[in-house]
Amino acid sequence: MAKDISQFREKVVDEASLEMLVKAECDCVDTIFDRAELQKNQCGFGKSGVCCKICHMGPCRITKNAPKGVCGADADTIVARNYLREVTGGTAAHSDHARHLVLILKKVALGKSTDYRIKDERTLRYSAGIYGIETTDRSANAIALDLANLLLDEFTSQEEPLKSLALAPEKRQALWNARDVAPLGIDRMVVEAMHRTTMGVDHNYKNLLMHAFRTALADGWGGSRAGSVVSDILFGSPAPVKSTANLGVLHADTVNIIVHGHEPALSEMLAIAVLDPAIKAYAAEAGASGITLAGICCTANEILMRHGVPVAGNVLQQELAIVTGAVEMMVVDVQCCMPSLPAVAAKYHTEIISTAEIAKMVGAHDVLFDEHSPLESAGKLIRRAIDNFKNRDASKVAIPKAKEPMVAGFSVDAIKNMLGGKYRASFRPLNDAIIQNRIVGLVGIVGCNNPKKKADDYTNILTMELIKRNVLVLKTGCAAIASGKAGMLKPEAAIRYAGDGLREVCEAVGMPPILHMGSCVDNARILEAATEVVLEGGLGDDLSMLPAVGVAPEWMSEKAVAIGSYFVASGVDVILGLPFYTSGSENVTRYLHEETKDIFGASFHLCEDPLEAVELIMRMLNEKRDRLGINKKAERKLLDMRERREANV
């Protein structure tokens, strides 16, 4: 039975998605929203985390009448094992992405790469310096080789903790050591997690959960951090850049190519190749007025941050982009690329090209990305998309109008420059604004969309309310794209909605109140920014003392479980808009949501309503402010640049 539009309005907030859902219905295309309906009665055992199929004596499911699995494992063991495996999956995904980039950096350093190069030598020298690598009077390649080797050791180290942990505040490092939770090499943590959770090994839920936090720390401070750092060195540190978001970025008269997934190695080359005059001429010969390169998910965020390439949408829009009928090619790499894409594409003329050896998609065309000549590879793909332009069926094309201008590109460096000016780059003005209560605190809003929630709704309500209450919001991933689509990354719009104190600060330093900091791996940038704030002084000596909270409003991925876990283990409370699969064990749930507070100074909090989340966040921020003794009324006078210089802040 055909659905009426009101049913779609319950699923998405943005007009572009709404239009495409209606079109998908007319075109008889199954989308994630249809499949979510069919999967509605989800398994209660799975949801509560008490299903175990780790060995073939099972699967076992814990009930009142059968409180133990065949081997004797109880709900606590099973739930904790499942949680640890989720964290491990997320850690592996972020870290393998990073490893790929580190290996490219090594090739560049050895002169074995034709097209990749060190684009940002300043970031290379800075990053090498903080890892203790000698940089004076040394060539960029020599430094890059040392850094690449050091970062590769972060994966393989068997007995030494990660070197990247030393980038955290000292007090946090001491806490990790005291709790015996400092991770060794990333690969070792992942392998050990799989060993601990196999049948008949670790049965103590606390021991399992501590390894979950250890593994997650290997992600946040190790793998993800390396992913961000090396991307910046190879492709340039992001700086504020204008762009546009939502499906309206596609054009009826251009060849439209969408990149989707996570790794920037190929998409960077596509962003360069698309500017090649010969390729542009080829598109013109095919009758197109140009080529539109746009992105979905975090590949989008990577090339948005560095090139201002427009964002077609976030994770739940990947099929809807194809439903426009105007996409010649969707190039997918790794993570969040749904196996449904080829079936949707088959209704139109879109080619799905899978490019990663480790991520083949049934029904897609495998065109493995040639890293020896990546620019040529990218050029070939674009020409192939242009060749497909003639197959577009105009009668199937309907591109939504909705799109919004936005500003992204807020690396830690960029934020520092905005705050202190290029020559006095510093977090000091931000710390002062927090101390003076113009900014109440910092909230990182991260993660995905999930068809269990109306797409973008929670994220947008939460973001709007927080900036109204003078909270500076840091964003990554699909949550950042949600703000872009909602027009909230237009500096002028957000400044209009921000509370007085936040607005004054933003206007004085020329910074929007919502900062798009990048992709999923760039959550490491949020930790880095928070660490800079601690090190700047005046707000305590540990991350757990900062008035700062993380939120994953509409999360769905194992990666989000890893991210949440490394935030908590780093001392930052995390609010979840959707629950973990842990309710089958009171002990595990209590441990994650309460006892971690005593261990790490932070814990998880479930809050399924965005306005309740706002109240909870404000309470948490104010408690932190009380403890720091800075909860006084804001002074209204804001120092200008000259006054700030005179006051030496």
List the one residue out of 209, 280, 263 whose CA is nearest residue 98: 263
In the range 519-538, which residues lie near ligand MSK by CB under 6 A?
Answer: 519-520
477, 487, 501, 564: which one binds ligand MSK (CB under 6 A): 477
Is the Cβ of residue 39 or residue 207 nearer to ligand MSK in the bound state? Answer: 39
Question: Are the CB atoms for 588 and 213 separated by under 8 Å?
Answer: no
Smallest distance, Å, CB 92 to ligand SF4? 21
Smallest distance, Å, CB 319 to ligand MSK? 13
448, 464, 488, 517: which one binds ligand MSK (CB under 6 A): 448
Residue 248 DSSP one-character state? G
Contact residues for ligand SF4, defined by CB under 6 A: 52-55, 57-60, 69-71, 73, 78, 199
Picked from ligand MSK, ligand SF4, none, the partner binding residue 520 (CB below 5 to 8 A depending on kind) is ligand MSK
Is the Cβ of residue 559 or residue 624 nearer to ligand MSK in the bound state? Answer: 559
Smallest distance, Å, CB 51 to ligand SF4? 9
List the one residue out of 325, 359, 357 whose CA is nearest residue 344: 325
Picked from ligand SF4, ligand MSK, none, the partner binding residue 477 (CB below 5 to 8 A depending on kind) is ligand MSK
Count Cβ atoms within 10 A of the Cβ of residue 267 and give its class: 0-12 exposed, 13-18 middle, 19 or more buried: buried
Is the Cβ of residue 81 or residue 97 nearer to ligand SF4 in the bound state? Answer: 81
Picked from ligand MSK, ligand SF4, none, the partner binding residue 487 (CB below 5 to 8 A depending on kind) is none
Is the Cβ of residue 197 or residue 411 nearer to ligand SF4 in the bound state? Answer: 197
Per-residue binding string, ligand MSK, 247-286, x by CB under 6 A, is ---------------x------------------------
453 binds ligand MSK per the rule CB under 6 A: no
In the range 168-197, which residues lie near ligand MSK by CB under 6 A?
Answer: none
589 binds ligand MSK per the rule CB under 6 A: no
Q: What would the two tokens of residue 350 be? A: 């879109």
**HEC assignment per residue over 428-475:** HHHHHHHHCCCCCEEEEECCCCCCCCCECHHHHHHHHHHHHCCEEEEE
Smallest distance, Å, CB 564 to ligand SF4? 25
CA-to-CA distance for 548 and 443, rounded, in angstroms?
A: 6
Is the Cβ of residue 79 or residue 332 nearer to ligand SF4 in the bound state? Answer: 79
557 binds ligand MSK per the rule CB under 6 A: yes
Question: Are the CB atoms for 490 and 407 separated by under 8 Å?
Answer: yes
**HEC assignment per residue over 538-585:** CCCCCHHHCCEEEEECCCCCHHHHHHHHHHHHCCCEEEECCCCCCCCC
Is the Cβ of residue 73 or residue 473 nearer to ligand MSK in the bound state? Answer: 473
Smallest distance, Å, CB 97 to ligand SF4? 30
Smallest distance, Å, CB 298 to ligand MSK? 3
95 binds ligand MSK per the rule CB under 6 A: no
Smallest distance, Å, CB 159 to ligand MSK? 32
Length in residues, the chain = 649
Q: φ and ψ at 483, to 5 degrees? A: -65, -40
Is the Cβ of residue 79 or residue 434 nearer to ligand SF4 in the bound state? Answer: 79
Smallest distance, Å, CB 52 to ligand SF4? 3
Q: φ and ψ at 473, to 5 degrees? A: -105, 130
Picked from ligand MSK, ligand SF4, none, the partner binding residue 54 (CB below 5 to 8 A depending on kind) is ligand SF4
Residue 28 DSSP one-character state? T
Smallest distance, Å, CB 585 to ligand SF4? 13
Smallest distance, Å, CB 618 to ligand MSK? 25
Picked from ligand MSK, ligand SF4, none, the partner binding residue 101 (CB below 5 to 8 A depending on kind) is none
447 binds ligand MSK per the rule CB under 6 A: yes
Q: Please spell the DSSP secondary structure of 381-432, one letter per residue.
A: HHHHHHHHGGG--GGG-------EEEEE---HHHHHHHHH-GGG--SHHHHH
Q: φ and ψ at 368, to 5 degrees? A: -65, 140
| Residues near ligand MSK (CB under 6 A), total | 14
Q: What would the two tokens of residue 77 be? A: 């063991």
Strand order across the 471-475 sheet: 514-516, 471-475, 441-445, 548-552, 573-576, 604-606
336 binds ligand MSK per the rule CB under 6 A: yes
In the range 386-405, which residues lie near ligand MSK by CB under 6 A?
Answer: none
Is the Cβ of residue 90 or residue 342 nearer to ligand MSK in the bound state? Answer: 90
CA dist 66 → 63, 80, 198, 483 (Å): 5, 18, 21, 47
Smallest distance, Å, CB 409 to ligand MSK? 17
Residue 629 DSSP one-character state? T
Smallest distance, Å, CB 62 to ligand SF4? 8
Q: What would the two tokens of residue 19 be? A: 């239009």
478, 489, 515, 552: which one binds ligand MSK (CB under 6 A): 478
Neighbours of 637 (CB within 10 A): 9
CA-to-CA distance for 480 and 493, rounded, in angstroms?
A: 15
Q: Which residues contact 53 (CB under 8 A, 6 or more apart)?
A: 59, 60
Is the Cβ of residue 73 or residue 434 nearer to ligand SF4 in the bound state? Answer: 73
Binding site for ligand MSK (CB under 6 A): 262, 297-298, 314-315, 336, 447-448, 477-478, 519-520, 557, 559
